[in-house]
C-alpha cells in the first residue's frame, strides 16, 4: 500500500503576514459621529511587536480631557476603509491610546490587538487556517504523526492529524530558512464555523502545551478559504492572545525514554511505538470540550510551570490534583464507595434515618441536619482516600514516596509545608522537586483519563540525575526519571 504524502504550502499566508499592516492608510468610519470619524488612520506592524500600532489624524484639534476610549468612540465598533478593502475593529480591539497631555492635538496613537476583514465568515461554514509564529524548531516530532512537505522543504515527521467532533484537522510547522522563522499552522479540512475552529485551535495549543510545557499563544492570524486546497485566501481575522508560556516542562519525551530503557544503542527499540498517539491527543481535546474541570486542571499545570515560588507551585498543582480527582470520583462513584455491598447497606441506612427522625426532637435543627447528612454520606470515602483510590482505579501502583506526598496536599491548601516552621528557606530546592512530583501525579491521572498507555517523564528525578551528572557527585536518586503508565 502506498501512503499519501501531504504537500502543504503557506507561502501566501507568510507573505500576507509580513506585508499586511505595513504602513497602510485608511479612513475611519462609524455609524455615530465621534471625533475619530472620517479621520485618516495609518497602521504599522513592526516585525518584533505583538500588536499593531496606529496613528489617527483627526479633522479637528481635541482637548486632552476628551482623549478617552469612550469620548473618542473606541468603545464602539468602527470600520477602516481603503480603496480595496474594509477592516473592522471590534469593541475592545484597541487596548492603548495616547495623545498630548496638556495642549489640544489632532493626532492620536495607540495599539490594536483585534481586527478583521468586514466580510470574514463568522456565521457561514468555511475552511480555516490559523498561522502563528513560534520558536520551537522540533514542534510536533513527539507525536505519532506523518511526513510531509511544505514549500519545497521536506519533513520526516511532524504533521499531526486530529479528529475533533468529526472535523479533521492538520497541525504542522514550517521553517522559513532564510529568515530563520518558524510558523505553526492549524487547518481544518472539513468546513466548520469560525467559533468552533477558534475554540478548537485554543484547545489544541493548550493540550500540546500540557504535554510539552509550551503553550503557544501571542498573535493569531486566522485565514478563511472557500475550499480545503487552501490556495486562495479570502479573508483575515487577527487577534493578539495572551503571552505564550514557554517553560519546556515536558512530560513526554520519546527519544529520551528510548535511551533510558536501553543503554546499548544497537538494541534501541523503534521510536514509533514510543511517540504520543494522535488518537489520544484527539481524545484529550474532545474531552476538554465536554469537561471544563479537565480544562481547568490542565491550565493550572501549564500556568503553574511559570511560577517561581515553589510553595505557590505546590499549592497550584495541588488544586489541579483536587480538580482531576473530583472529576474521576464523580464519574466512578461506585468504585470509590468504601462499602461495596450497597444493597445490604441500603436498609441499614434507611433504619438509621428512621431512628434519627424519631429522635429529632432531642436535637437542634442544625444538629439534626448534620446528623442526617452524615448518615446520607456514610458510604462516601474520606477526602484523602479519594486521591489514593483515583490511582488504584487506573491500576497505578505508586511508590510510598508519592503516597506520602498525596497526604501532604492539604498542607499546601492552608499555606503550610511538610517542613518545620521557619525551615522553608533551607528547603527551597526540595520543595521545587515536590512541586514537580505533584505535577507528574496530576499528569498521570489526566493521561489515564483519556486512555493513554506509555511513558511519562519524572522531571524531579530527571533534574536530580542531571545535577548529579554535571556536578560529578555520587548522589543516589531513589526514583525513576521515567515511568510506564
DSSP summary character for residue 24: E
Q: Is the dihedral of CA 466, 469, 470, 472 positive or negative?
A: positive
Q: What is the pLDDT of residue 10?
A: 96
| Bridge pairing between strands 146-150 and 6-8 | parallel
Cα dihedral 120, 123, 129, 134 in deg (nearest 10): 80
Share of the chain above pLDDT 70, in %: 94
205 vs 64: which has the higher pLDDT: 205
* Cβ proximity of 155 and 172 under 8 Å: yes
CA dist 395 and 290 (Å) reads: 25
- Give the lowest-confidence range in 29-38, 235-244, 256-265: 256-265
Q: How confident is the model at residue 347 (pLDDT cuts 50, 70, 90)?
A: confident
Q: How confident is the model at residue 318 (pLDDT cuts 50, 70, 90)?
A: very high
Residues 427-443 have pLDDT tens digits of: 888 999 999 999 999 99
Distance of CA 76 to the CA centre of its chain: 30
CA dist 138 and 121 (Å) reads: 33
Q: What is the pLDDT of residue 367?
A: 74
Domain segments of the chain: what residues? 13-117, 120-246, 291-334+383-484, 339-376
Phi and psi angles of residue 425, each rounded to the nearest 5 degrees, phi first:
-60, -30
Closest by CA to 201, choosing from 213, 188, 214, is 188
Mean pLDDT for the stretch of residues 227-235: 95
Residue 317 confidence (pLDDT) above 90 = yes
Residues 387-402 have pLDDT tens digits of: 999 999 999 999 888 9
Q: How confident is the model at residue 5 (pLDDT cuts 50, 70, 90)?
A: confident
* Cβ proximity of 476 and 423 under 8 Å: no
CA dist 251 and 325 (Å) reads: 19
Residue 146 β-bridge partners: 159
Mean pLDDT for the stretch of residues 160-176: 95
CA dist 93 and 112 (Å) reads: 6
CA dist 215 and 295 (Å) reads: 13
Mean pLDDT for the stretch of residues 320-324: 96
Cell numbers at 189, concatenated: 479540512
CA dist 232 and 213 (Å) reads: 34
Q: How confident is the model at residue 281 (pLDDT cuts 50, 70, 90)?
A: very high
CA dist 207 and 144 (Å) reads: 15
Residue 80 β-bridge partners: 28, 87
Q: What is the pLDDT of residue 341?
A: 60
Q: What is the pLDDT of residue 48?
A: 79
Residues 6+ apart with CB under 8 A from 403: 388
Q: What is the pTM of this model?
A: 0.89
Q: What is the pLDDT of residue 1?
A: 43
Q: What is the mean pLDDT of the chain?
A: 89
Residues 175-215 have pLDDT tens digits of: 987 767 899 999 999 999 999 999 999 999 999 999 999 99
Q: What is the pLDDT of residue 342?
A: 66
Residue with C-alpha cell 478548537? 200
Residue 170 β-bridge partners: 161, 187
369 vs 288: which has the higher pLDDT: 288
Cell numbers at 108, concatenated: 492620536
CA dist 92 and 94 (Å) reads: 5
Q: What is the pLDDT of residue 355?
A: 80
Share of the chain above pLDDT 90, in %: 61
Q: How confident is the model at residue 267 (pLDDT cuts 50, 70, 90)?
A: confident
* Cβ proximity of 444 and 485 under 8 Å: yes
418 vs 286: which has the higher pLDDT: 286
Q: What is the pLDDT of residue 66?
A: 86
Q: What is the pLDDT of residue 412?
A: 81
Q: What is the pLDDT of residue 223?
A: 98
- Give the lowest-confidence range in 38-52, 105-119, 242-256, 284-298: 38-52
Amino acid at each position: 500500500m502506498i501512503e499519501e504524502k501531504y504537500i502543504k504550502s503557506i507561502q501566501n499566508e507568510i507573505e500576507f503576514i509580513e506585508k499586511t499592516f505595513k504602513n497602510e492608510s485608511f479612513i475611519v468610519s462609524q455609524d455615530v459621529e465621534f471625533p475619530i470619524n472620517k479621520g485618516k488612520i495609518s497602521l504599522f506592524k513592526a516585525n518584533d511587536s505583538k500588536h499593531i500600532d496606529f496613528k489617527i489624524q483627526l479633522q479637528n484639534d481635541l482637548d486632552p480631557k476628551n482623549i478617552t476610549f469612550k469620548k473618542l468612540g473606541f468603545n464602539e465598533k468602527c470600520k477602516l476603509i481603503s480603496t480595496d478593502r474594509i477592516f473592522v475593529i471590534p469593541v475592545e480591539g484597541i487596548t492603548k491610546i495616547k495623545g498630548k497631555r496638556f495642549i489640544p492635538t489632532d493626532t492620536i496613537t495607540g495599539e490594536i490587538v483585534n481586527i478583521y476583514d468586514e466580510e470574514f465568515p463568522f456565521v457561514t461554514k468555511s475552511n480555516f487556517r490559523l498561522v502563528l509564529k513560534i520558536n520551537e524548531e522540533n514542534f510536533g516530532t513527539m507525536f505519532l504523526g506523518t511526513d510531509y512537505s511544505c514549500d519545497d522543504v521536506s519533513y520526516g515527521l511532524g504533521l499531526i492529524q486530529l479528529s475533533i467532533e468529526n472535523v479533521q484537522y492538520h497541525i504542522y510547522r514550517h521553517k522559513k530558512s532564510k529568515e530563520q522563522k518558524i510558523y505553526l499552522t492549524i487547518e481544518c479540512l472539513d468546513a466548520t464555523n469560525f467559533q468552533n475552529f477558534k475554540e478548537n485551535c485554543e484547545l489544541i495549543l493548550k493540550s500540546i502545551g500540557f504535554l510539552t510545557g509550551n503553550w503557544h499563544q501571542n498573535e493569531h492570524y486566522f485565514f478563511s478559504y472557500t475550499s480545503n486546497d487552501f490556495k486562495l485566501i479570502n479573508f483575515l481575522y487577527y487577534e493578539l492572545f495572551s503571552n505564550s508560556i514557554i517553560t519546556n516542562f515536558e512530560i513526554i519525551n520519546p527519544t529520551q525514554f528510548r535511551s533510558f530503557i536501553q543503554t546499548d544503542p544497537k538494541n534501541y527499540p523503534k521510536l514509533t511505538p514510543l511517540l504520543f498517539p494522535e488518537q489520544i491527543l484527539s481524545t484529550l481535546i474532545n474531552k476538554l470540550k465536554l469537561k471544563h474541570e479537565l480544562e481547568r486542571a490542565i491550565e493550572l499545570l501549564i500556568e503553574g510551570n511559570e511560577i517561581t515560588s515553589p510553595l505557590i507551585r505546590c499549592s497550584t498543582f495541588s488544586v489541579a490534583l483536587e480538580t482531576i480527582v473530583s472529576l474521576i470520583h464523580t464519574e466512578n462513584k461506585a468504585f470509590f464507595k468504601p462499602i461495596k455491598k450497597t444493597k445490604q447497606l441500603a436498609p441499614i441506612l434507611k433504619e438509621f434515618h428512621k431512628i434519627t427522625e424519631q429522635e429529632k426532637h432531642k436535637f437542634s435543627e442544625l444538629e439534626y441536619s448534620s446528623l442526617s447528612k452524615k448518615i446520607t454520606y456514610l458510604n462516601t470515602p474520606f477526602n484523602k482516600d479519594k486521591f489514593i483510590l483515583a490511582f488504584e482505579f487506573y491500576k497505578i501502583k505508586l511508590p510510598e514516596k508519592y503516597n506520602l506526598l498525596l497526604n501532604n496536599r492539604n498542607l499546601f491548601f492552608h499555606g503550610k509545608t511538610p517542613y518545620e516552621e521557619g525551615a522553608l528557606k533551607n528547603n527551597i530546592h526540595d520543595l521545587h522537586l515536590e512541586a514537580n512530583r505533584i505535577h507528574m501525579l496530576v499528569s498521570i491521572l489526566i493521561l489515564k483519563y483519556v486512555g493513554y498507555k506509555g511513558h511519562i517523564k519524572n522531571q524531579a528525578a530527571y533534574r536530580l540525575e542531571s545535577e548529579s551528572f554535571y556536578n560529578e557527585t555520587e548522589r543516589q536518586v531513589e526514583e525513576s526519571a521515567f515511568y510506564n503508565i
